[in-house]
């Protein structure tokens, strides 16, 4: 997987728990304490999984809690900073989520070895979207936090539930007008 995922995990852990905690996470995951990640490098998927597991252990949280914090940090701080154009283009959370299939295709189409997740969409009713995650990696557990983070970024209430690879997103306030 691209180093952008561990890089964001690093940023989140250091911001919320401090530099020393992140060093311990790396060592627990079998890396050197001084190890740094580049956003464009290839990181073995097992290393990324190990980092989430070690973060849970060192921070005394569940892996799901770490993934939820990761998703919130990704969608509200990390991605708006380095991939800001995609957030500016979307008028609201609905548009942002619907653009995710294309955004993942576009951000990785010229990147060697990238295997981005794909998404398909079904509307259960006009305010309830089912977003299905397709990937070889089986990281669907990252999805609820990432989607909730998109809601937080656009300052919208979203109700998010997951069953396997299907993420149901309910927009209780209906259509949110575009931000000015
Ligand atoms: C502008 C916003 C975003 C950009 C530019 C972006 C880009 C990327 C990139 C470059 C990767 C690594 C792909 C690889 O190594 O093959 C990735 C992984 C991932 N992205 Fe995004 N992403 C964004 C937002 C989101 C959101 C909002 C979601 C969920 C709704 C999401 C779901 C995922 C998941 C689950 C992965 C892990 C890899 C996998 O499961 O295969 N991303 N993303």
State whether the beta carbon of 168 lies less than 6 angstroms from ligand 1.
no
Span 11-31, pLDDT tens digits: 999 999 999 999 999 999 999
CA dihedral of residues 92, 95, 96, 97 (deg, nearest 10): 120
Provide the β-strand partners of residue 3: none
- Domain 94-170 listed as CATH 3.90.1520.10: yes
Name the region of 116 (left: φ>0; alpha: ψ -120 to 50; beta: rest): beta
Pocket mutation for ligand 1, best pick of 46, 49, 100, 149 (most atoms within 8 Å of C-beta): 100
Report CA(86)–ligand 1 centroid distance (Å): 12
Task: Identify any residues that bridge with 168 across adjacent strands, giving them in sequence order.
Answer: 130, 161
Round to whole Å and give the CA distance between 107 and 61.
32
Q: Domain map of the chain by residue range?
A: 4-61, 94-170
Q: In a 3-state reduction of DSSP, which class is residue 118?
A: strand
Q: Along the chain (180 residues), what's the average pLDDT of each consecutive run of 10 residues?
A: 95 98 98 94 94 98 98 98 95 96 88 87 96 94 98 97 98 71
């Amino acid at each position: 997987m691209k180093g952008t995922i561990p890089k964001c995990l690093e940023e989140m852990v250091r911001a919320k728990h401090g530099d020393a905690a992140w060093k311990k996470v790396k060592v627990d995951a079998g890396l050197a304490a001084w190890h740094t990640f580049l956003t464009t490098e290839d990181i073995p998927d097992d290393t990324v999984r190990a980092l989430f597991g070690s973060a849970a252990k060192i921070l005394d949280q569940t892996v799901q809690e770490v993934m939820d914090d990761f998703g919130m940090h990704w969608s509200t701080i990390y991605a708006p900073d380095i991939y800001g154009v995609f957030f500016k283009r979307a008028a609201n959370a609905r548009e942002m989520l619907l653009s995710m299939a294309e955004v993942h295709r576009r951000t990785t189409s010229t990147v060697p070895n990238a295997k981005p997740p794909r998404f398909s969409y079904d509307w259960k009713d006009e305010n309830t979207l089912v977003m299905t995650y397709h990937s070889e990696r089986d990281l669907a557990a990252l999805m609820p936090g990432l989607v909730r983070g998109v809601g937080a970024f656009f300052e919208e209430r979203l109700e998010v539930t997951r069953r396997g690879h299907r993420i149901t997103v309910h927009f209780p306030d209906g259509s949110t007008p575009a931000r000015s």
